[in-house]
C-alpha cells in the first residue's frame, strides 16, 4: 500500500514539473482601445490592452508616453492628462518585439469625417493645432469673432482666412483632433459635400460659446460640459436625444430636422430663438422663456402649445402640427404667425395689431376677423370654411390667398398694394366676379395676377369684363 502511494505521488510530481517545462505561450499580436483617447486636464482613464492569442501571458508589458508633460501612463495603462496637447501612449513587450499605440489628446476636440472633404471654421484667441487624421498636422492662428464678421460670407468664401480645408484623397472616416483651449466659435456643418460628421466630441473645450454642426450625420451630441454655450445649431442630423440642462446661458438653439421625441428647455430661461421644427415632439413646455423672440415648432406632433407667457414673441411658426386651439391674445408683438395645416376652428387676432404675415390656411376656420390687423401684407387663408372675409382695413396687403373656401363675395378696393390674389375654388357667381374685378386697384407693378378659376361664374364673364382688369394692369387666370 505504501509503495502504491509513493508511485502516485511521483506521478503527480512528474505531471507538475512536466507542465512547467512546457514553453509559455508567446504574444503574437496586441492592440489598445480606444485608438484615440480624449482627456481633460487632470482626468484619468484606463486603456484596454488586448493580446493574441487570448491565453498569452503579458505581465511584463512596458508602458510609456511620448510626451509626459502632456499625458502620463502608469504600469497598469492608466493615463492622466497633464496639459493641453497630444501624446502617443505606447505599450510594448519586454523585448520590444511588439508595440501598440494610442493617441491621447488633452483639452482637445475630435470629429470623425464621413466625407473626404473637411471644412472647419474657428474663432478664438492664440493658435490651435489641427491633426487631420492622415498624418498631416498644422498650427493655425485664431481670430477674434468680436470683430463682427458675417458668417455667411466667411463660410462660403473659398479663400476665407477663417476657414481651414483638407482633402483625404477619396477616403473618409479619418478622425480630426483640434487642440487649443481658447476656441470660442466652431463651425463644422455639412455644407455641400463637406464633413458629414459621424461623431463630434467637444466636451473638453469649455471656452466654446458658439457651435454649428448642422447638416451632418450625428446620432449623439454631448454638450454637458460646454456651459459657456450661447448658440447651438445642430439641425439636420440624426439626433434622438439632446440634453441641454447644463447650458443655462443658451440664447439661440436650433435643433430642427432631427429625430427628437422630447425637448427639455426648462434650464434655458435666456432663450431668444428656438428652432425645433421637423422632429417628433408631442409636447413643448415654453415656461419660463419670457424673452423668447422666435419659436419655430412646425412639423411636429403637437396637439397644443401655450405661448401666453411668451409676450415678446415676434415670430411664431407652428404649422403642420395637430393643434385644435391657439391662443395668441397675449402675444401683442407678433409680426409673423404661421399656423397653417392644423385643426383650428377659431383664431382670435384682435390683439395682434403688429401682424404683417399670416398663414392660417388648411384649417377649419369658418370666420376670420382681420379688422385690427392693419399691418398685414401677406395673408394666406385658403382651404378653410370661410363664407365671407372683410379685408377693407388691410390696405397694405400685397399677397392674398383665399382659395378653396365658400366665399360668395369679395371686395379688394381698399387693398391698394395688392399685386397677387388667389380667389379660385370658391362660390363666386358671375355678378360677384364682375364686382371683384371692378374692385381691383389700379396697379403699375409688373406681373399683377388674380386667379379666379373654378368659381361657378367664370364662364359668364365677357371680354369687356376681363378688359376692366387689363386696363388696371391685371392679368386674370381663369
Instruction: Look at residue 102 and tell me if it is in a domain.
Output: yes
The region, left, alpha or beta by phi > 0 then psi within -120 to 50, assigned to residue 241 is beta
Q: What is the CATH number of the domain that holds 460?
A: 3.80.10.10
What pLDDT is stored for residue 160 in this prediction?
67
Question: In whole angstroms, how far apart are CA 196 and each of 108, 112, 155?
Answer: 20, 9, 16
pLDDT score, position 258 = 98
- Whether 329 contacts 348, CB under 8 Å: yes
Question: Which of 106, 134, 149 is the endpoint of a domain?
Answer: 106
Residue 73 has pLDDT above 90, yes or no: yes
The closest of 128, 156, 55, 137 to 88, measured between CA atoms, is 137
Q: Is 295 inside a domain boundary?
A: no
In a domain, 44, yes or no: yes
The C-alpha angle 413, 346, 344, rounded to 5 degrees, equals 110
Q: Confirm whether 332 is domain-assigned.
A: no
Three cell numbers at 54? 487570448
pLDDT for the residue 146:
66
Residue of higher predicted confidence among 130 and 94:
130
DSSP state of 61: P
pLDDT digits (tens, 9 = 90+) for 206-264: 999 999 999 999 999 999 999 999 999 999 999 999 999 999 999 999 999 999 999 99
| Percent of the chain residues topping a pLDDT of 90 | 68
The phi and psi torsions of 91 (rounded to 5 degrees) equal -125, 125
pLDDT, tens digit, 9 for 90 and up, residues 133-176: 888 999 988 888 765 554 444 555 555 677 888 898 866 678 99
Domain enclosing residue 422, as ranges: 366-478
Alpha carbon of 387 to those of 381, 407, 433, 444: distances in Å? 12, 4, 15, 31
More confident residue, 337 or 141: 337
pLDDT, tens only, 380-436:
999 999 999 999 999 999 999 999 999 999 999 999 999 999 999 999 999 999 999
- Which of the listed residues 75, 106, 137 is the one where a domain comes to its end? 106
CATH of the domain at 77: 2.60.40.1080
Q: Is residue 54 part of a domain?
A: yes
Across 308-323, average pLDDT: 97
Q: Is the pLDDT of residue 15 over 70?
A: no
DSSP code, position 10: H
pLDDT per position as a tens digit, 434-476: 999 999 998 777 789 999 999 999 999 999 999 999 999 999 9
In a domain, 389, yes or no: yes
Identify whether 129 is part of a domain.
no
Q: Measure the CA–CA gap between 107 and 20, rounded to whole angstroms.
A: 49
Instruction: Tell me which of 58, 90, 106 is where a domain ends.
Output: 106
Q: What pLDDT is attached to residue 300?
A: 98
Residue 240 DSSP SS3 = coil
- 184, three cell numbers: 470660442
Beta strands in 213-342 (DSSP E): 231-233, 252-254, 273-275, 294-296, 315-317, 336-338
**In total, how many domains does the chain have?**
2
**Domain assignment present for 417:** yes
Amino acid at each position: 500500500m505504501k509503495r502504491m502511494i509513493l508511485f502516485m505521488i511521483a506521478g503527480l510530481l512528474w505531471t507538475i514539473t512536466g507542465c512547467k517545462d512546457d514553453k509559455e505561450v508567446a504574444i503574437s499580436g496586441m492592440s489598445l482601445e480606444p485608438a484615440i483617447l480624449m482627456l481633460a486636464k487632470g482626468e484619468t482613464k484606463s486603456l484596454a490592452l488586448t493580446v493574441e492569442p487570448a491565453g498569452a501571458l503579458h505581465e511584463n508589458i512596458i508602458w510609456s508616453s511620448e510626451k509626459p508633460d502632456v499625458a502620463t501612463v502608469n504600469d497598469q495603462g492608466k493615463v492622466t492628462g497633464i496639459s493641453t496637447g497630444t501624446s502617443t501612449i505606447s505599450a510594448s513587450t519586454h523585448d520590444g518585439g511588439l508595440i501598440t499605440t494610442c493617441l491621447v489628446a488633452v483639452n482637445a476636440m475630435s470629429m470623425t469625417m464621413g466625407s473626404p472633404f473637411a471644412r472647419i471654421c474657428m474663432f478664438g484667441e492664440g493658435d490651435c493645432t489641427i491633426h487631420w487624421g492622415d498624418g498631416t498636422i498644422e498650427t493655425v492662428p485664431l481670430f477674434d469673432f468680436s470683430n463682427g464678421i458675417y458668417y455667411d460670407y466667411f463660410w462660403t468664401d473659398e479663400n476665407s482666412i477663417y476657414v481651414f480645408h483638407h482633402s483625404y484623397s477619396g477616403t473618409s472616416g479619418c478622425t480630426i483632433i483640434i487642440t487649443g483651449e481658447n476656441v470660442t466659435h466652431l463651425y463644422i456643418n455639412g455644407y455641400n459635400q463637406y464633413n458629414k460628421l459621424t461623431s463630434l466630441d467637444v466636451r473638453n473645450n469649455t471656452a466654446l460659446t458658439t457651435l454649428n454642426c448642422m447638416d451632418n450625420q450625428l446620432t449623439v451630441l454631448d454638450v454637458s460640459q460646454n456651459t459657456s454655450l450661447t448658440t447651438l445649431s445642430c439641425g439636420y442630423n440624426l439626433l434622438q436625444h439632446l440634453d441641454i440642462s447644463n447650458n443655462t446661458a443658451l440664447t439661440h438653439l436650433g435643433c430642427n430636422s432631427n429625430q427628437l421625441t422630447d425637448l427639455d428647455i426648462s434650464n434655458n430661461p435666456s432663450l431668444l430663438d428656438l428652432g425645433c421644427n421637423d422632429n417628433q415632439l408631442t409636447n413643448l413646455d415654453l415656461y419660463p422663456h419670457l424673452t423668447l423672440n422666435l419659436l419655430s415648432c412646425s412639423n411636429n406632433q403637437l396637439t397644443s402649445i401655450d405661448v401666453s407667457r411668451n409676450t415678446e414673441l415676434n415670430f411664431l411658426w407652428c404649422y403642420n402640427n395637430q393643434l385644435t386651439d391657439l391662443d395668441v391674445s397675449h402675444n401683442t408683438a407678433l409680426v409673423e404667425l404661421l399656423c397653417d395645416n392644423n385643426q383650428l376652428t377659431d383664431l382670435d387676432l384682435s390683439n395682434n395689431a403688429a401682424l404683417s404675415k399670416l398663414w392660417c390656411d388648411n384649417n377649419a376656420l369658418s370666420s376670420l376677423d382681420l379688422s385690427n390687423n392693419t399691418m398685414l401684407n401677406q395673408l394666406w387663408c385658403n382651404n378653410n370654411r370661410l363664407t365671407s372675409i372683410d379685408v377693407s382695413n388691410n390696405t397694405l396687403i400685397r399677397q392674398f390667398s383665399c382659395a378653396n373656401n365658400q366665399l360668395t363675395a369679395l371686395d379688394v378696393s381698399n387693398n391698394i398694394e395688392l399685386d397677387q390674389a388667389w380667389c379660385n375654388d370658391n362660390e363666386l357667381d358671375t355678378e360677384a366676379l364682375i364686382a371683384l374685378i371692378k374692385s381691383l386697384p389700379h396697379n403699375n407693378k409688373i406681373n399683377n395676377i388674380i386667379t379666379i378659376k373654378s368659381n361657378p361664374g367664370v364662364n359668364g364673364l365677357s371680354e369687356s369684363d376681363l378688359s376692366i382688369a387689363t386696363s388696371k394692369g391685371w392679368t386674370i387666370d381663369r
